[in-house]
A and B are shown apart, each in its own frame.
Chain A
């Protein structure tokens, strides 16, 4: 069965410090991968999505970047965090093949709560 792991679960970082959130998926190959951010009590904002290694689509210009160094690994980074980067970050995946019925459904990780002080 497929599983998704996201870490760290929580972190508190000072303004101006770097950030690295990691997400890995097991039990599938060539997944589509996503990073979302959720502000407190709000909906999800799509930040990045990737259809393959090294292929990243950025949805919102911001202080963040994403990388996909391996097929099932997706990393969210920042060189210098801002206060506005605080939030709940969610990684998600779906099957990459349109022939797969699971391609219509997102599976989410448990989330990473970032507080920038």
Chain B
């Protein structure tokens, strides 16, 4: 079963707008990670947030984590066409067993 579930499944926005996607998970975690996948390519790690952190920033990315609700959000500010991709959250509830959600497909139109 999938540990993380992203919401929404798909998101379409225009350049310059912000994109927000959410992730819910089921078990306790040490950290939660977000990855990006361009069409037909491998996943690329974006950002990691530890269980004792509530918010983390990296460039135009902002990640929040609410362990009481077992949820996380990824915000991409000032979206660009190059941000078009699928975004996945991942957790590793068991040692080494990274589990991914179904992803949010983001389309940014010029």
Contact = CB atoms under 8 A, between A and B. Distances in A.
A111 B42 contact: yes
Interface residues of B, number: 24
Interface residues of A, number: 25
Contacts of B90: 106
A51 interface: yes
A49 B94 CA distance: 12
B55 to A, nearest CB: 18
B102 A42 contact: yes
Nearest to A91: B42
B109 interface: no
Nearest to A101: B48
Contacts of B43: 44, 90, 92, 106, 108
Best-buried of A32, A44, A88 by chain B (most CB within 10 Å): A44
Nearest to A113: B40
Given A43-B103, A44-B100, A105 B42 contact: no
Contacts of A88: 40
Interface in B1-43: 2, 30-31, 33, 35, 40-43
Given A41-B105, A43-B88, A110-B42, 9 more contacts: A32-B96, A42-B103, A43-B100, A92-B42, A92-B98, A94-B96, A105-B33, A106-B33, A106-B45
Interface of B: 2, 30-31, 33, 35, 40-45, 48, 88, 90, 92, 96-103, 105
5 contacts: A6-B42, A34-B98, A44-B43, A105-B48, A113-B40
